[in-house]
Chain A
Amino acid sequence: MSTTSTTTVTNPAPADQDPAGTAPARRPRRRGENSLATTLTSHGVLTVASLIALFPIVWLVYLSLGPDKDDYLHPEDIWGKMTLDNYAFVLQHTPFFDWLKSTLVVSLGTTVIGVMVAATTGYAVSRMRFPGYRKFMWVLLVTQMFPVAVLMVPMYEILGELQLIDSYLGLVLVYCSTAVPYCAWLLKGYFDTIPFEIDEAGRVDGLSPFGTFFRLILPLAKPGLAVAAFYSFITAFGEVAFASTFLLSDTKYTFAVGLQSFVSEHDAQRNLMAATAVLVAIPVSAFFYLVQKNLVTGLTAGGTKG
């Protein structure tokens, strides 16, 4: 169009003019602004990355709509015969709700116990230079390195003696032993960012160290607590090795174990498996996006001061 072409030639300001008076021909780029090419490349790369991140999940959802167990081999046929039958079948004829119940009991139990224990520890380590605290932090880090194999056998024996095999409590305790150390590290970092003048003020007003912690520090540390809670929840929700070994009766399976049983038990009914997987993913992802706002702040507080 003629109008667009004129706008480009209307202000051909000579470069050697007084820079203060006239507008320059090309607006200088401000800091943080990119040229068009950079922006386009960024968008391009991010779009490709997003597609890669999305695709396996979208594909799983798509396959879950196919009615036949071999439909995943002929994905183009699914388009014509999409149905929600798989979901109906999973909800009505499989122990889906039993699994849901045990998963929630185990995950929420781990979250509540884990965050409580980790918060007091994190606070103690952050505020009080008690003898042995450096070694203590080191021990917490070392427990992160424990491969499942080293603890599995003895834990199996101990839980067996305590009659805790095939019980929720046993699994919650086992998960706490992995979730608590990391959460304590994370929360220690978060508590470090809360100025300790607040503690002093609390003490001047006559609060005990516990009172300071519960009334002043905990409310201030909510983002950090959210991250710790999320981490514990996810750890417990997605754990496979311990759950496969310690849970025996199929009504007590968590989803991580239950989903595997589809392959053998129902002779690889992949359509049902995909439908269950989608149903499982929904609550967790919802939970994730609820706390994700706090995720960045909480994690970096833990990361930078770790």
Chain B
Amino acid sequence: MTVVVDRATGKRRGDRAPRPGPLQRLKHAYQKYWYAYAMTAPVVVVLGVLVLYPLVRGIYLTFTDATSLNSARTIGVNHIDATYEFIGLDNYADILWGPTAYDRFWSHFVWTIVWTALCVLLHYAIGLGLALLLNQKLRGRTLYRLILVLPWAVPTFVTVFGWRFMLADAGIINSLLDAVHLPSPLWLEDTFWQRFAAIMVNTWCGVPFMMVSLLGGLQSIDAVLYEAAEMDGANAWQRFRHVTLPGLRSVSSTVVLLGIIWTFNQFAIIFLLFGNTAPDAQILVTWAYQLGFGQQPRDYAQSAAYGVLLLSILIVFTSVYRRWLARNEQQLAS
């Protein structure tokens, strides 16, 4: 039986003792861990008030028909009370299989999945490639690194405007494409090219984070492992496959998960690149925002219902992902 030593108090846990009654146990736990609870209390309060309560309220809203027309509001000096009603699961039914559900939900859903998969794949592949290049002895690699993190250093809302100038109809990109006699697509108007442009801009913005994280991971791999592999006659590819990739496993699993969550919820890039003009290029997050705040009347209930659906998708995905990781680790260990 393992005995866990609490690292702050030095007390041993896991020793068997006669089980005291529940109230005493609670008191005991309080005495033993009060400082731990005191230290986490601020977060619990902040999250409770600003995340948990709104979440509960948001979930409640999804069961109503709240819009900006029937919510409580103040016009001048008159206060109008909320008149929205409880309508059960109608919002979800309407979103998932109501009339035109395909155009409103499923097409955005598919595009969101494609967007997330492609973006994270590109982020990871390019980030890993650049990290590998930067991890070798190379003249001026500090300079390269400083330049390559620039897309991360400059705030997204600034760079997206830069991209908008470049992607405009007669902008620099189309001028260049014209100059080499390639077709110049309408980046900001044609659905396919809108999507293409969105993925391109997001890739440009997201690679530095992956690169920096993976570079850190590469630097923490013990050089002795490479030496041993070389002694055993492993070629470059085999060293990469059997030393580098396993060494990056823990960093990769974390950054890929974060990358997927962030890309799935990526709001700023699509919102700023297209505004309200591109209904087909909106991913679920921006689409939900548009329903709730980008139109009149504002459809609060449906917007919140989209949010809840998004959240459930992510939670299911994350649980599966973590279980898959844990199983993989076990397989490696055995």
Contacts and interface: CB of A to CB of B under 8 A. Distances in A.
Given A128-B33, A158-B53, A303 B255 contact: yes
A248 B149 CA distance: 33
B144 A46 contact: yes
B251 A300 contact: yes
B45 to A, nearest CB: 9
A225 B214 CA distance: 20
Nearest to B314: A145
Interface majority SS (helix, strand, loop, mixed), chain A: helix
Chain B CB within 10 Å, residue with most, of A149, A177, A292: A149
Contacts of A288: 149, 152-153
A43 B130 CA distance: 11
A56 B293 CA distance: 30
A60 interface: yes
A247 B132 CA distance: 43
B144 A50 contact: yes
A145 B47 contact: no
Contacts of B272: 240, 260
B251 A240 contact: no
Interface string A50-84: 10111011011001000000001101000000000
Interface residues of B, number: 105
Interface in A117-133: 117-118, 120-121, 123-125, 127-131, 133
A140 B258 CA distance: 13
Contacts of A154: 53-55, 57-58, 61, 304
Contacts of A43: 138-139
Interface stretch (A7-15, A16-24, A26-34, A92-100): A26-34
Contacts of A149: 285, 288-289, 292, 303-304, 306-307, 310
A124 B165 contact: no
Given A136-B40, A273-B161, A57 B292 contact: no
Contacts of A213: 39
A60 B37 contact: no
Contact of B310 (A147, A157, A278, A306): A147
A296 interface: yes
A150 B55 contact: yes
Contacts of A49: 130, 144, 148
A59 B146 CA distance: 18
Contacts of A229: none
B50 A174 contact: yes
B79 to A, nearest CB: 12
B155 A145 contact: no
B268 A241 contact: yes
Given A39-B138, A177-B50, A303 B154 contact: no
Contacts of A259: 157-158, 161
Contact of B36 (A128, A255, A278, A284): A128
B308 A150 contact: yes
B7 A199 contact: yes
A133 B40 CA distance: 10
A209 B220 CA distance: 31
Contacts of B146: 289, 292
Given A46-B134, A50-B144, A127 B311 contact: no
Given A150-B307, A277-B162, A238 B137 contact: no
B36 A130 contact: yes
Interface string B283-314: 01100110011000000100110111011001
Given A128-B7, A147-B264, A303-B254, 10 more contacts: A53-B150, A75-B175, A147-B284, A152-B307, A260-B272, A296-B212, A299-B216, A300-B251, A303-B217, A304-B251
Interface of B: 4, 6-10, 13, 29, 33, 35-37, 39-40, 42-43, 46-47, 50-51, 53-55, 57-58, 61, 66, 71-72, 129-130, 133-134, 136-139, 141, 144, 146-159, 161-163, 165-166, 168, 170-172, 175, 204, 208, 212-213, 215-217, 219-220, 223, 226-227, 230, 250-251, 254-255, 258, 261, 264-265, 267-268, 271-272, 284-285, 288-289, 292-293, 300, 303-304, 306-308, 310-311, 314-315, 318
Which A-B residue pairs are the 9 nearest by beta carbons? A150-B307, A300-B216, A149-B288, A149-B307, A154-B54, A288-B153, A124-B39, A60-B162, A154-B57
